[in-house]
Amino acid sequence: MQFLYMTWTVKHKPKSTAEIVGNPSAIKALRDWLQSWDKGVPKKRAVFLCGAPGVGKTVTVEALAHELHMELVEKNASDYRTEDAINRFAGLASQYGSLFGGKRIVLLDELDGLMGNADKGGVKAITNIVKKARCPIVLIAGNAYDPRFTALRSYCLLIEFKKPPASSVMKNLQRIREREGIEADENTLKFIAQRAGGDVRSAVNDFQALAQGKNRLAYDDVSWLAYRDRQESIFNVLKMILYGRTSYGAKQAVDMADVDIDMLFEWIYENVPAHFPDPHDLVQAMDALAMADVYRGKIRASKDWSFTRYVIDYMTVGVAMARQESKVSGWIPFKFPSRIKMLSRSKAERAMRKRIGLKIRRKCHISVARTSKEVLPYLRIIFKNNANMAGGIAKWLDLDAEMVEYLVGSKVRAGAITAFLG
Listing DSSP states for 296-320 in one string gives HHHHHHH--GGGHHHHHHIIIIIHH
The region of weakest confidence among 42-51, 63-72, 383-392 is 383-392
**Whole-prediction pTM value?**
0.53
Listed residue (361, 364, 419) closest to 1, CA to CA: 364
Over residues 313-363, the pLDDT tens digits come to 999 999 999 999 988 766 677 787 776 655 554 556 777 888 898 888 888
Average pLDDT over residues 90-111: 65
Give the pLDDT confidence score for residue 83 in this predicted structure: 56
Rounded to whole angstroms, how far apart are CA atoms 389 and 363? 17
Rounded to whole angstroms, how far apart are CA atoms 133 and 104? 11
Over residues 124-160, the pLDDT tens digits come to 888 888 888 888 999 998 888 878 888 888 899 999 9
Q: How many of the other CB atoms lie within 10 Å of CB of 50? A: 23
The region of weakest confidence among 18-27, 106-115, 367-376 is 106-115
The region of weakest confidence among 58-62, 98-102, 119-123, 172-176 is 98-102
Q: Which residue has the higher pLDDT, 233 or 73?
A: 73
- One-letter amino acid of 376: L
- Work out the mean pLDDT of the chain and round it to a whole number: 81
Give percent above pLDDT 90 in the chain: 24
